[in-house]
Chains A and B, each alone.
Chain A
Amino acid sequence: MEEALRHGPLSARPPPAAAMRWTRLAPGLTLAVLVAPLAFGLAFTALPAFGYLPALGGHVVSLRYFAAFFTMPGIVRSIALALGIGLATGGISFLLVVLFVAGWAGTPAFARLQRGLSPLLAVPHAAAAFGLAFLVAPSGFLMRLASPWLTGLTRPPDWLIVHDPLGITMTVGMIVKEAPFLFLVSLAALPQLKLVETRRLAASLGYGRIAGFAYLLAPALYGQIRLAVFAVIAYSASVVDVAAILGPTLPAPLPVRLLSWMNEANLSMRFVASAGALVQFALVLAALALWLAGERLVGGGSALLRACGVRFRRDRWLRFLSFGLVVLCAAAVFTGLALLALWSLAGLWQFPDALPQVFWLKTWQRQLSEIAAPFATTLVTALVATAIALALTVACLAREDETGRTGGRRALLLVYLPLLVPQISFVFGLQVLSLLTGIDASLAGLVFVHLIFVLPYVFLSLSDPWRAFDPRYAVVASGLGLSRGAIFRRVRLPMLARAVLTAAAVGFAVSVAQYLPTVLIGAGRLTTITTEAVALASGGNARVIGVYAFLQAILPFLGFAIASLVPALLFRNRRALRT
């Protein structure tokens, strides 16, 4: 009762009208899109893993493909790499973000950097990874800048920086993308913390800024972003495209090897790959279990320090270190993108020249006819998947308004589910299904598999601003005689136009960046800019890579640019809607 009174007696909804009843179907449909592919995908991964898939000649249930899997050369190392890279990416990204937020939230520098970091989220993983490779490789930009005056080198050294056997460069490549993601999720959670008051209180009691945050606010913040951290760990342990571009090769992390087995002509390797995909699932569960153990350890350690009254007053160096690292992340990605553009336009560019001697459009011209089809596929798939995701999300949120019930924490977990289960573990099964049903390499199949990953991001992006809408606007409009549909069209959508378009841009970016689902469902016949770009990784033609990766990076940016320009033009004289 207390709560009902605090929230007020207003319902956002005028009483039901028949016109909007279709929204009733939305939660079920959305749930189906989120959960059904997971269930069917996992099932059709598990069947061949245990040897049963009559269509491919597997009739006997056995464990022999697991046995075969574990006898593959270097398999333990492949598993360890995936596990280590997942945990390292999650841990370091999380630590960096918490330190940065603890040390800087609420300062002008924070606000400035916030604007700089947001676009990072739009950069596809593959493009960021290629950019990083062009930056740090032995023949890369940094080495060129330092040569020959500092290093004395006139030829690129023979160092294994990219594809290093421990996966350090790959981990860095993941961190520069995942840290901004966690940062933006944290930003969304910050308004619910009493940041300024708590900081003043902690300071007045003699605590350093970071210590005060860690003791008083970090637990609440962590509760808000925990699922996102899990998603980062799961994703980093299972990623294929970044691993193919930056990761170790002999042996490669497990997901890369699984994909190559899946694509082998020898059909029995599919069974082994399926067994491996289940191991990958177990691997991610193990990574999350380790992380949970780590949670307790850190929580206990923090409580101990707090109980001892450790104030950590001189944290200036740590604050500046976190700031520097965050800036470095952003700088690495943006410089990398510039290098992609540079290489795509480069003519002769000898080591150690920092810049090409000649610029030309030859590379673009040569690729133009090759690019057209994958470009169209990328665009159509992204637009259709985003449109469907947006319609489902809006209908779900409208249904929330009608019933007055949100799904709560359990629904949030469901939304996160496709981001927590490794793609490879269930998209394998979906590929098998697509072969059986004949929708492999079809646009519809591609759109659907993209939708599974676009929908969660669109929902996460739109739900907060949607729920923050003041229901009294609807009450006022209803009192003025507007029907529910009219309120939706003439009040709610225009006022939320910016949030809706931003969510659409997020969905578009997610779709453009999809690698593994595209490769598996597109089956090599339906390709996108992303699959083409990643396929170039082993070839090493930097100019062509520049063309594809730059194009891959620029598409999401265009989406976000449109999403911010349209409301800016539409509402150019409306101050309250400009920010």
Chain B
Amino acid sequence: MTAMHKGLWLRDVAIDLAGVRLIALDAEVAPGAVLTVMGPSGSGKSTLLAFIGGFLDPVFTARGEARVDGVDLTALPAEERRAGILFQDPLLFPHLSVAANVAFAIPRHEKGRSRRRAIAEAALGEVGLADFAARDPATLSGGQKARVALMRTLVSHPRLLLLDEPFSKLDATLRGHMRSLVFDRARAAGLPVVLVTHDKADAEAAGGACVRIGDDA
């Protein structure tokens, strides 16, 4: 039964630092659903994303499983986990054009420059940035950069989305817009989402289960 689970399944996850337990978690996230992890800054909530994505600094010790659609991610190297991650900064590669940033993420099995370029431009078109393909990412507004970063992640066909406070640097109106864009997209693609945030509004907008860590409760 476990192998056939759809979505993300976190089993017996425990992350320690210097003998202190930061996170202990069991959770299931259905395709398109969101698990929100809330906690104050410095509580170590981002370690969960690092654990799932395969970037956990070795000073932390972690155990447990993270399975997506039955595949145990923890057994794979980071580059084979296909864990799409979004940070609060868009982190567009500054040496590549906007379209090249997106094309960079397209899997290798899509062959041919023109085909890959077409995929990238179509993805940009979906978020209203078709005219920005050739632009320098440094010339985009914050909201535009955030949308490019989202599409860059989506075209890589991730297994799941890991969101590390991705809305916290956007202003209030943009934030609402970006939230619904990200969650709609994740739902449409059937991606389980883990959202780390300290903003209650994020959790409410996400609508799914919510785990609190690092509180003295």
> Which of B57, B78, B91, B138 lies at the interface centre, i.e. has the most chain A CB atoms within 10 A of its CB?
B78
Q: Which residues of B lie under 8 Å from residue A480 when comparing CB positions?
A: 84, 104-105, 152-153, 156
- What's the Cα separation between A10 and B87 when bound, in Å? 12
Nearest residue in B to A491 (C-beta to C-beta)?
B93
How would residues 47 to 91 of chain B score, 1 for a CB under 8 Å from any chain A CB and 0 otherwise?
Answer: 101110111111110000000000000000111111111010101
- What's the Cα separation between A6 and B78 when bound, in Å? 23
A478 touches B79 (CB 8 A): yes
Q: Which residues of A lie under 8 Å from residue B111 when comparing CB positions?
A: none
A475 touches B53 (CB 8 A): yes
B79 touches A9 (CB 8 A): no
B77 touches A17 (CB 8 A): yes
- Number of A interface residues in the complex (CB < 8 A): 38
B107 touches A481 (CB 8 A): yes
- What's the Cα separation between A460 and B95 when bound, in Å? 24
Nearest residue in B to A15 (C-beta to C-beta)?
B77
A479 touches B87 (CB 8 A): no
A571 touches B91 (CB 8 A): no
B58 touches A4 (CB 8 A): no
Q: How far is the CB of B34 from chain A (nearest CB, A)?
A: 18
Nearest residue in A to B57 (C-beta to C-beta)?
A11
B156 touches A479 (CB 8 A): yes
B138 touches A574 (CB 8 A): yes
From A1, A14, A404, A573, B77 is in contact (CB under 8 Å) with A14
- What's the Cα separation between A75 and B83 when bound, in Å? 72
Q: Which residues of A lie under 8 Å from residue B44 when comparing CB positions?
A: 5, 9
A4-B60, A14-B54, A479-B158 known; A571 vs B95 contact (CB < 8 Å): yes
B82 touches A495 (CB 8 A): no
Q: How far is the CB of A85 from chain B (nearest CB, A)?
A: 46
Nearest residue in A to B46 (C-beta to C-beta)?
A9
From B60, B136, B137, B153, A479 is in contact (CB under 8 Å) with B153
- Residues facing B in A466-522 (CB within 8 A) are 470, 472-473, 475-484, 490-491, 494-495, 497
Q: Does A223 touch B at the CB level, under 8 Å?
A: no
A478 touches B78 (CB 8 A): yes
A5-B17, A481-B82, A481-B107 known; A473 vs B93 contact (CB < 8 Å): yes
B79 touches A483 (CB 8 A): yes
Nearest residue in A to B53 (C-beta to C-beta)?
A479
Nearest residue in A to B59 (C-beta to C-beta)?
A4
Q: Which residues of A lie under 8 Å from residue B46 when comparing CB positions?
A: 8-10
A575 touches B138 (CB 8 A): yes
B56 touches A11 (CB 8 A): yes
Q: Does B139 touch A at the CB level, under 8 Å?
A: yes
From A8, A479, A495, A497, B78 is in contact (CB under 8 Å) with A479
How would residues 27 to 53 of chain A score, 1 for a CB under 8 Å from any chain B CB and 0 otherwise?
Answer: 000000000000000000000000000
Q: Does A537 touch B at the CB level, under 8 Å?
A: no
Q: Which residues of B lie under 8 Å from residue A307 when comparing CB positions?
A: none
- What's the Cα separation between A13 and B53 when bound, in Å? 12
Q: Which residues of B lie under 8 Å from residue A490 when comparing CB positions?
A: 104
A10-B46, A15-B77 known; A481 vs B57 contact (CB < 8 Å): no
Q: Which residues of A lie under 8 Å from residue B89 when comparing CB positions?
A: 470, 472
Q: Which residues of B lie under 8 Å from residue A8 when comparing CB positions?
A: 46, 57
A17-B77, A479-B83 known; A575 vs B55 contact (CB < 8 Å): no
Q: Which residues of A lie under 8 Å from residue B156 when comparing CB positions?
A: 479-481
Q: How far is the CB of A453 from chain B (nearest CB, A)?
A: 32
Q: Which residues of B lie under 8 Å from residue A4 when comparing CB positions?
A: 17-18, 57, 59-60
From A11, A470, A495, B95 is in contact (CB under 8 Å) with A495
B137 touches A14 (CB 8 A): no
A15-B77, A574-B138 known; A475 vs B55 contact (CB < 8 Å): yes
B85 touches A479 (CB 8 A): yes
Q: Does B112 touch A at the CB level, under 8 Å?
A: no
Q: Does A577 touch B at the CB level, under 8 Å?
A: yes
- Residues facing B in A436-472 (CB within 8 A) are 470, 472
Q: Does A150 touch B at the CB level, under 8 Å?
A: no
A9-B50, A9-B56 known; A479 vs B82 contact (CB < 8 Å): yes
Q: Does B172 touch A at the CB level, under 8 Å?
A: no
Q: Which residues of B lie under 8 Å from residue A497 when comparing CB positions?
A: 95
From B60, B137, B158, A9 is in contact (CB under 8 Å) with B60
Q: How far is the CB of B213 from chain A (nearest CB, A)?
A: 12
Q: Which residues of A lie under 8 Å from residue B82 when comparing CB positions?
A: 479, 481
- What's the Cα separation between A11 and B136 when bound, in Å? 28
- What's the Cα separation between A10 and B153 when bound, in Å? 18
A476 touches B91 (CB 8 A): yes
B105 touches A5 (CB 8 A): no
- What's the Cα separation between A24 and B168 when bound, in Å? 39
Q: Does A576 touch B at the CB level, under 8 Å?
A: yes
Q: Does B188 touch A at the CB level, under 8 Å?
A: no
A11-B55, A404-B58 known; A479 vs B81 contact (CB < 8 Å): yes
Could you jot down 14 A-B contacts, CB within 8 Å? A5-B44, A7-B57, A9-B60, A404-B59, A470-B91, A477-B104, A479-B81, A479-B162, A480-B152, A481-B108, A482-B79, A574-B138, A575-B139, A576-B137
Using a CB–CB cutoff of 8 Å, the interface residues on chain A facing chain B are 1, 4-11, 13-15, 17, 404, 470, 472-473, 475-484, 490-491, 494-495, 497, 571, 573-577
Excluding A470-B91, A573-B97, 7 further A-B contacts by CB distance (< 8 Å) are: A4-B59, A9-B55, A477-B104, A479-B158, A497-B95, A573-B136, A575-B136
Using a CB–CB cutoff of 8 Å, the interface residues on chain B facing chain A are 17-18, 20, 42-44, 46-47, 49-51, 53-60, 77-85, 87, 89, 91, 93-95, 97, 104-105, 107-108, 136-139, 152-153, 156, 158, 162
